[in-house]
Amino acid sequence: MNSLFDLTGKVALITGATHGLGMAMAKALGRAGAKLVINGNTPSKMEAALESYQQEGLDVKGYLFDVTNEGLVKEQIEKIEKEVGPISILVNNAGMIKRVPALEMDAEAFRQVVDVDLTAPFIVSKQVARYMIERKEGKIINICSMMSELGRDTVSAYAAAKGGLKMLTRNLATEWARHNIQVNGIGPGYFATEQTAPIRVDGHPFHDFIINRTPAGRWGDPDDLGGTAIFLASKASDFINGQIVYVDGGILATIGKPRNE
């Protein structure tokens, strides 16, 4: 059974893995045996992240590049393949959000969010898949969102991009399944991270809303994503393709507020 989830010797590229949920998923893959390649675009964050990974004894390399630059991505993927090894697992995690009402958001800002959250996963997946197709093996995991299914005030660009990423996942799965490449997605719910710390306090309206809206009655812990990431990166998911697994504590399963017991 353990061999189904063993990632020993596999090279995993995780974009945007210098912090937050990307780092949590990358560390989970590393603990399962994968050799990690983390991407970011800020030197200081990369330095601190590498130290964090190395303190846990994980095998990790860092590469700084802009995932929206197709020429640069092609160059860096070639470099990783030569310097680290064949990329077996890709996690498209890098993303951004701009919380601006639709009437106040200009087209340039809208395009920037779509470029990072939707176009970049297409660019990186395409460049990595060229090698995966040659080897007839690969796992691609796109990090979707609750906003792949639901709308919310002030996040029109983000929701449009994440909804598009859900359909990109399904289309790439359709095209590449014949090459033994599985393309799936993870849709995180609301998680306890540094970014959400200011609103995760009793009495804050959004905190209370999430606690009441989530059947599990809590925010997700970043480690809650680890099992799903390992599953979708391993042999255990070899016949699963084009699926989005929502790790959300049950939010999408219910229409109403859970009863207080």
Count of other CB atoms within 10 angstroms of residue 84: 17
Q: How far apart are CA 155 and CA 183, in angstroms?
A: 26
- DSSP 3-state of 196: coil
Backbone angles phi, psi at 182, to 5 degrees: -105, 125
Quote the pTM value: 0.96
Active-site residues, by number, are 158
Beta pairing partners, 182:
139
Question: Residue 187 belongs to what H/E stretch?
Answer: strand 181-188
- Tens digits of per-residue pLDDT, 139-193? 999 999 999 999 989 999 999 999 999 999 999 999 999 999 999 999 999 999 9
Position 113 scores a pLDDT of: 98
**Average pLDDT score over residue span 37-44:** 98
Question: Residue 245 belongs to what H/E stretch?
Answer: strand 244-247
Q: How many CA atoms lie within 13 A of 15 on its CB side?
A: 27
Residue 32 clears pLDDT 70, i.e. is over it: yes
Domain 2-193+220-253 coded CATH 3.40.50.720: yes
Residue 138 clears pLDDT 80, i.e. is over it: yes
- Tens digits of per-residue pLDDT, 198-256? 889 989 999 999 999 999 999 999 999 999 999 999 999 999 999 999 999 999 999 87
pLDDT tier at 194 (50, 70, 90 boundaries)? confident
pLDDT tier at 260 (50, 70, 90 boundaries)? low
Q: How far apart are CA 99 and CA 154, in angstroms?
A: 5
Give residue limits of the domains in the chain.
Answer: 2-193+220-253
Judge whether 11 and 81 are in contact, CB under 8 Å. Answer: no
Residue 103 DSSP code:
G
List, in sequence order, the alpha helices (H) in the chain: 20-31, 43-55, 70-83, 107-114, 120-135, 156-176, 205-213, 226-233
Position 10 scores a pLDDT of: 98
Token pair listed for 223 = 């480690």
